[in-house]
Amino acid sequence: MVKFCKKCNNIMLPKNGKWVCTVCHFEIEMKKEDETFVLKERIESKKKEIAVIENVNTLPTTKVECPQCGNLEAFWWLQQTRCADEPETRFYRCTKCGYTWREYD
């Protein structure tokens, strides 16, 4: 049997003889027929740790002048930043100072 909250329409779970909303904590008393409900499994979400690795030189490089320091090599990548019918935006990141800039077609 599944109960849904009358206030916010989210699922309600049994707790201490009541149905309790998992979102807004609205409570409803359990009826006699609801008491046979057995909770078989409880799933708790745990926050996952995400490792961010910086300065991994896996991007392709090209010869272009950095407007910040004048270095002649930069990493580059393409990204769709506008409508699908527009060309992609070309990004550059200087291999020396890390300055990032973009070019449009």
pLDDT digits (tens, 9 = 90+) for 14-26: 888 888 898 898 9
For the chain, counts of helices (H) and of strands (E): 0, 8
All structural domains of the chain: 1-44 (no CATH), 59-101 (2.20.25.10)
Would you state the pLDDT for residue 75? 92
Q: Is 105 annotated as catalytic?
A: no
Is 86 an active-site residue? yes
Residue list, annotated binding site for Zn(2+): 5, 8, 21, 24, 66, 69, 94, 97
State the binding site: 5, 8, 21, 24, 66, 69, 94, 97
**Which residue among 65, 86, 88, 103 is the active-site one?**
86
Helix (H, G, I), strand (E, B) or coil at 96: coil
Question: 41, 44, 54, 85: which one is catalytic?
Answer: 85
- Give the Cα separation of 2 and 4 in Å (integer): 7
Point out the residues of the chain with pLDDT beneath 70: 1, 32-56
pLDDT at 5: 87
Instruction: Give the bridge partners for 63, in sequence order.
Output: none
What are the phi and psi torsion angles at 36 (to 5°)? -80, -5
Q: Are 80 and 88 in contact (CB under 8 A)?
A: yes
Q: Return the pLDDT at 83.
A: 83
Give this prediction's pTM: 0.46
